């Protein structure tokens, strides 16, 4: 399968780092330009391709995408994957955003990271990227995020979002906050 994104058209994009998944004969993966695709796994024939930047005025940026997550409940089949600071829910049958998930098919991954008072930075200015697919447990997708090595690093919290609605279900603070088990204060 050729994504059609040769080196000349990629500019600063990289290579495919995605470990694709195969579900009932359909392969789902991502391209270097962060497009999600579905293929007939036997023939390599493209069934659909989703471009997260097609309808947006957002500047396209590239980061590693190492996989996607799949969830199903009856006929409701979803692919979840991260593009920059967003988690997107895509209909696995036709490659369209699931409008009922979050805000028009996406959620902002700054959600649940705290506020300026608790982390010392304006949340919206933190570098937040989802490079790994996360894991599905029942109706939750459980994710971490890439933590920058610069001053714009977001806290490395582990969060769970509802796969159907996009609502934040819970946050695990990898470094306990005041009042949480494991937090100690200096005398």
Q: Which residues are bridge partners to 29 per DSSP?
A: 37
Whole-number pLDDT of residue 10: 47
Give the whole-angstrom CA distance, residue 130 versus residue 18: 13
Determine the average pLDDT of the residues in 150-168. 88
Confidence band for 139, pLDDT divided at 50, 70 and 90: very high
Report how far apart, in Å, the C-alpha atoms of 4 and of each of 1, 37, 42, 65, 137 are: 9, 12, 20, 17, 34
Determine the average pLDDT of the residues in 76-96. 95
Mean pLDDT score of the chain: 86
- What are the tens digits of pLDDT across the range 8-52? 554 455 677 889 999 999 999 998 888 999 999 999 999 999 999
pLDDT higher at 40 or 66: 40
Determine the average pLDDT of the residues in 95-118. 88
Determine the average pLDDT of the residues in 56-81. 85
Whole-number pLDDT of residue 60: 62
Determine the average pLDDT of the residues in 92-109. 96
Report how far apart, in Å, the C-alpha atoms of 103 and of each of 9, 53, 107, 167 are: 31, 16, 6, 10
Distance linking the first and last C-alpha atoms of the chain: 62
Whole-number pLDDT of residue 66: 86
Over 70: is that where the pLDDT of 93 sits?
yes
């Amino acid at each position: 399968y050729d994504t059609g994104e040769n080196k000349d058209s990629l500019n600063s994009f990289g290579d495919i780092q995605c470990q694709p998944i195969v579900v009932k004969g359909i392969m789902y993966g991502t391209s270097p330009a962060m497009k999600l695709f579905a293929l007939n796994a036997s023939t390599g024939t493209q069934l659909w391709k989703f471009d997260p930047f097609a309808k947006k005025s957002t500047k396209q940026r590239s980061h590693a995408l190492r996989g996607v997550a799949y969830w199903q409940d009856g006929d409701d089949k979803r692919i979840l994957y991260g593009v920059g600071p967003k988690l997107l829910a895509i209909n696995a049958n036709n490659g369209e955003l699931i409008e009922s998930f979050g805000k028009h098919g996406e959620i902002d991954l700054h959600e649940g990271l705290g506020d300026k008072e608790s982390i010392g930075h304006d949340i919206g200015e933190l570098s937040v990227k989802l490079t790994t697919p996360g894991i599905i447990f029942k109706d939750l997708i459980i994710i971490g995020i890439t933590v920058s090595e610069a001053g714009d690093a977001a806290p490395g919290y582990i969060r769970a979002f509802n796969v159907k609605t996009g609502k934040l279900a819970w946050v695990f603070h990898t470094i306990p906050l005041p009042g949480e088990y494991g937090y100690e204060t200096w005398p």
